[in-house]
Amino acid sequence: MKIIVCIKQVPDTKGGVKFNPDGTLNRAAMLTIMNPDDKAGLEAALRLKDQYGAEVTVITMGLPKAEEVLREALAMGADKGILVTDRVLGGADTWATSSTLAGAIRNLDYDLIITGRQAIDGDTAQVGPQISEHLNIPVISYAQKIEIDGDSVIVERQYDDRYHVVKAKMPCLITALAELNAPRYMTPGGIFDAFKADITVWGRANLVDVDDSNLGLKGSPTQIAKASDKVRKGTGEKVNLDADASVEYIVGKLKEKHVI
Amino acid sequence: MDFTLSKEHEMVRTLFKEFAQNEVKPLAQEVDETENFPRETVEKMAKLGFMGIPIPKEYGGQGCDILTYAMCVEELSKVCGTTGVIVSAHTSLCCDPILTFGTEEQKQKYLVPLAKGEKLGAFGLTEPGAGTDAQGQQTKAVLDGDEYVLNGSKIFITNGKEADVYVIFAITGVTTDAKGRSKKTISAFIVEKGTPGFTFGVKEKKMGIRGSSTYELIFQDCRIPKANLLGKDGEGFKIAMHTLDGGRIGIAAQALGLAEGALENTISYTKERKQFGKAIAAFQNTQFQIADMATKCQAAQYLVYAAARKKDEYQKDHKTVYSVEAAMAKLYAAEVAMEVTTKAVQLHGGYGYTREYDVERMMRDAKITEIYEGTSEVQRMVISAALLK
């Protein structure tokens, strides 16, 4: 089985969000991480590899620096990394991004494409489904569980209060939720091997069946007027204690923070 | 001179940091309080290859350098000194001598499962009368046919009861030097847990690193195969000194981590804690203390990393000498750990004296780094001996 996982390097919002004077994100000034939903998608692919045997290729579009997330993916256990980078691809919105990624993926054999549900910097959840449209394959979004059944996948698709079990013939595309799994750690040796591995670098010339009018800033119907940071409530903390222990715990926390 | 870390080392630090935060930190207080060995954490580390970081891949390790190993111990120790020393004693004191002095058969039989973390290692040199004076050994090994018969005891053994494989030192003879003085011949042996005649004595009740399993090892007519002699007969002292040189880098990294962990906790605490209507970080005393603590941590880190780099050179050429660098790193990092953790408790005030706050544990954990694997006085002896010879 051949699996392609689309990943994105995103700003680590824990380190604070920084903007350029024109209101766009100053990516160079921010620490970066692998987008959490994408990492869950990669973990899902690696589990399928462990369970059924598969070749996992990770692909990302971005600045040359985005190579870092490919190395991280290799250190987790992915087999190949492809970086799609070119000046003409810069400033892409979701449409131009999905056109680019689909153009790159047309070079590859695959049974399954996994993307994250959405990236934490844009929060659109559009790129995965758009890739499936460009490639004319089925899409199952919001996967919380993935199984292989012969030449099909069976996926639990999450809703607010329920889930649907959906079956699709491969090749198809799945978008993964961060809640799908707890991604594995890299290994020390895996990291050093990952930096020795060759990363395939593709530019505009390597994209198949994509018109220039669908690429980069010029090919992006969406124009960003201004980006802003949202006030985060934080993830909070969940504990499972009985009533008495809960009271003791909460009072302890309040004392620790010097509230009482 | 380049002080910057490679991208690989930056990424591997991220890995150790994430693991320490997610898997080790939540248990640190409980491990200290209950004095329970963190077996589950060791199993998790084993799966990720943390128990064999500088061991070549052909022997089940990760094939990384000593610097990577030191960074692992450093990041673990930032949140839990116990977990740091478990990795350090296992790697530096058991895996390393088998890698350096073991036969191919010994490496296949013992090093491979140790490096994979399937087995845990320990090292037995110290005896009641033989601490800094390693020549004061009383444990004896007598060759009887194809077996050595071991009699004696070892104390303060890290990973004591939890380990599976032990590198043990014992007297195998007495020689006379040119001046007619008699000198004990010491040899090293690989001893497996469960060998008849090998039992455990008391568990030490310690001030710090309370989750690490520190035991007395007792050998009574313990017969071990002749094939388990590590190195040649009489090479024990050389093996012990070589091993401790490497071990000091591990302990220096542990001390560094404890200091850095205490500094991080202090920075966040002093920004939160309010007195006289403002955060105590706004007071110049706090600022100056933190500046001193951070400067010393940075200096300690450079010394530890330089020693690790030097041992990396040794790993390649088996000639480079790194004893002085290792001794300097351990001496300085241990004293910085004690000083920084003590200041951290002071800046936490009354709260810092309670077990609710990690700095209290860190200060207790730090003290041992000035004592084990060669006291600070021994490090000064090693450094000055090299300078004054």
ipTM, interface predicted TM-score of the complex: 0.93
Quick check: A27 pLDDT over 90?
A: no
Q: Are B168 and B150 in contact (CB under 8 A)?
A: yes
pLDDT of residue B170: 97
* Residue B294 touches partner A, C-beta closer than 8 Å: no
CATH C-level class of A2-214: alpha beta
- Cα–Cα distance, A26 to A20 (Å, whole number): 5
pLDDT band at B8 (very low <50, low <70, confident <90, very high): very high
Is the bond preceding A171 in cis, omega lying within 30 degrees of 0? yes
- Cα–Cα distance, B375 to B327 (Å, whole number): 10
Residue B11: which of A191, A256, A258 has the nearest Cβ? Answer: A191
pLDDT of residue A230: 66
* Residue B20 touches partner A, C-beta closer than 8 Å: no
Q: DSSP state, B127? A: B
B5 to chain A: which residues are within 8 Å by CB? none
Quick check: B259 pLDDT over 90?
A: yes
Q: Which of A86, A93, A87 is nearest to A119 (CA)?
A: A93
Which of B74, B162, B360, B373 is flagged as catalytic? B373
Q: What is the pTM of this model?
A: 0.90
Q: Are A39 and A180 in contact (CB under 8 A)?
A: no
Neighbour-count burial for B22-56, b at 16+ CB within 10 Å, e otherwise: ebbbebbbebbeebebbeebbebbbebbbbbbbbb
CA distance B47 to chain A (A): 9
Mean pLDDT of B83-97: 98
Half-sphere exposure of residue A258: CA atoms within 13 angstroms, side-chain side: 11
* Residue B236 touches partner A, C-beta closer than 8 Å: no
- Cα–Cα distance, B224 to B237 (Å, whole number): 20
pLDDT of residue A257: 82
- Cα–Cα distance, B226 to B234 (Å, whole number): 14
pLDDT tens for B198-256 read 999 999 999 999 999 999 999 999 999 999 999 999 999 999 999 999 999 999 999 99
pLDDT band at A237 (very low <50, low <70, confident <90, very high): confident
- Cα–Cα distance, B385 to B389 (Å, whole number): 6
Ranges of each domain in chain A = 2-214
pLDDT of residue A233: 67
pLDDT tens for B316-333 read 999 999 999 999 999 999
Q: Are B188 and B101 in contact (CB under 8 A)?
A: yes
pLDDT of residue A178: 87
pLDDT tens for A132-178 read 999 999 999 999 999 999 999 999 999 888 999 999 999 999 999 98
* Residue B21 touches partner A, C-beta closer than 8 Å: no
pLDDT of residue B218: 98
Q: Which of A5, A208, A2, A1 is nearest to A107 (CA)?
A: A208
pLDDT tens for A69-105 read 999 999 999 999 999 999 999 888 889 999 999 999 9
CA distance B49 to chain A (A): 6
**pLDDT, chain B, mean:** 96
pLDDT of residue A232: 63
Quick check: A127 pLDDT over 80?
A: yes
CA distance A150 to chain B (A): 31
* Residue B8 touches partner A, C-beta closer than 8 Å: yes
A188 to chain B: which residues are within 8 Å by CB? 12, 15, 48-50, 53, 62, 64, 68, 72
Alpha helix locations (H) across chain B?
Answer: 7-19, 25-34, 39-47, 66-79, 81-88, 96-101, 104-106, 112-115, 236-272, 284-317, 323-352, 358-369, 376-388
Mean pLDDT of B145-163: 97
* Residue A257 touches partner B, C-beta closer than 8 Å: yes
Check CB contact under 8 Å for B15 and A189.
Answer: no
pLDDT of residue A240: 87
pLDDT of residue A79: 98
Mean pLDDT of A28-41: 88
Half-sphere exposure of residue B278: CA atoms within 13 angstroms, side-chain side: 5
**Least CA distance to A184: which residue of chain B?**
B48
A257 to chain B: which residues are within 8 Å by CB? 272
Torsion of CA B232, B121, B114, B316, to 10 degrees: -50
Where on the phi/psi map is residue B273: left (φ > 0), alpha (ψ -120 to 50), or beta? beta
Q: What percent of chain B has pLDDT over 70?
A: 100
Quick check: A28 pLDDT over 80?
A: no
pLDDT of residue A259: 82
Look up B30 and say whether it is catalytic.
no
Tokens, residue B120 = 């845990």
